[in-house]
A = this chain, B = another copy of it.
């Protein structure tokens, strides 16, 4: 088995001691990088990029060549699973995702099936290829994270047919026909678990559930329609592979109100957005889970010295870490990096996080 040169991320996710706070950035392979835009232009489209393992491998590695990041994350889209279910995913230029065949009727829901994983082969091929590409001088540079949308977040798009600021169709089904919504979520949970397990089998060394729209739910509805199904996914996941524990990260954007319940989901780590005070969150979750987050991506629009100041402030808010003690913090943004981020600003962030977090452990 190829050793991992820098496994700080995996140790932090499992609440083992680390010399510094590891960091990676949601959407780190993305439009703010000129080299990403060049590859995307060659691929012709976003889906052409995401569905081709060569291109996906190329863009996954781009941010690692530029910055001292502590993880690679599979380049893909959260909507691969419903696309493989036959809903017909497309991305119109300048717009978000669209499904040609959204779920609107009882018959649509009755016809829904978990996808044949063969239709997602391109994802598992990308995972395997990225793992190989991460090897340099006989060791793997950093771990590879796989991911999926959560059952609820997939359901939002599957029912709405596109992004939304109120998820009117999805919530109408939820409130008017909860039986139909539960059926969609059960199928999604089964599909997502199988999808993530296949990513792990192909080489993903940690997996993350993106519950991007759990925060749109009311208290009560969140627990019933989002968290319960994320938990069901997590229960079905293979937790050990290649002799290592495979950490699971659950991230609900806007999930701050429910961190306590999320800490009992079975996840090893919880992603948190910037509305959360990390120190208060740490006190709430105790030693149950690690935390991942939570800089506002907009900080990266400010000059480098301000970025460093805000990054230090996030690290400080997590609170003291005794040397050799478990910390359980992975630095990240509270949401994906903006396409308008000046790439050189990310250098200031990476340097500040690595330097200041070493200081905190002295």
Contacts and interface: CB of A to CB of B under 8 A. Distances in A.
A276 to B, nearest CB: 6
B275 A215 contact: yes
Interface in A345-360: none
Interface string A260-290: 0000000000000011110000000000000
B257 A338 contact: no
Interface string A307-347: 00010010001000000000000000010001010000000
Contacts of A317: 219-220
Contacts of A168: 298, 301, 338, 340
A219 B175 CA distance: 32
Given A218-B274, A219-B276, A275-B218, A298 B172 contact: yes
Contacts of A299: 171, 175
A88 interface: no
A219 B301 CA distance: 18
Contact of A276 (B165, B257, B275): B257
Nearest to A301: B172
Interface string A139-168: 000000000000000000000000001111
Given A275-B215, A306-B176, A298 B171 contact: yes
B219 A171 contact: no
Contacts of A294: 218
Contact of A219 (B220, B254, B274): B274
A19 interface: no
A221 interface: yes
A341 to B, nearest CB: 10
A257 B301 CA distance: 25
A301 B164 CA distance: 16
Nearest to A176: B302
Question: How many copies of this chain?
Answer: 2
A298 B298 CA distance: 30
B254 A275 contact: yes
Nearest to A295: B218
A87 interface: no
A112 interface: no
Contacts of A215: 275
Contacts of A301: 168, 171-172, 175-176
Contact of A256 (B166, B175, B257, B338): B257
10 tightest CB-CB pairs across the interface, nearest first? Answer: A171-B298, A175-B302, A218-B274, A172-B301, A176-B302, A219-B277, A218-B296, A257-B275, A175-B299, A256-B257
Given A218-B296, A219-B277, 19 more contacts: A166-B297, A166-B338, A167-B298, A168-B298, A168-B340, A171-B296, A171-B299, A172-B298, A175-B301, A176-B301, A176-B303, A217-B275, A218-B274, A218-B294, A221-B296, A222-B275, A256-B256, A256-B257, A257-B276
13 contacts: A166-B338, A168-B301, A168-B338, A171-B301, A175-B298, A176-B301, A176-B302, A176-B303, A217-B275, A221-B296, A222-B275, A257-B276, A257-B277
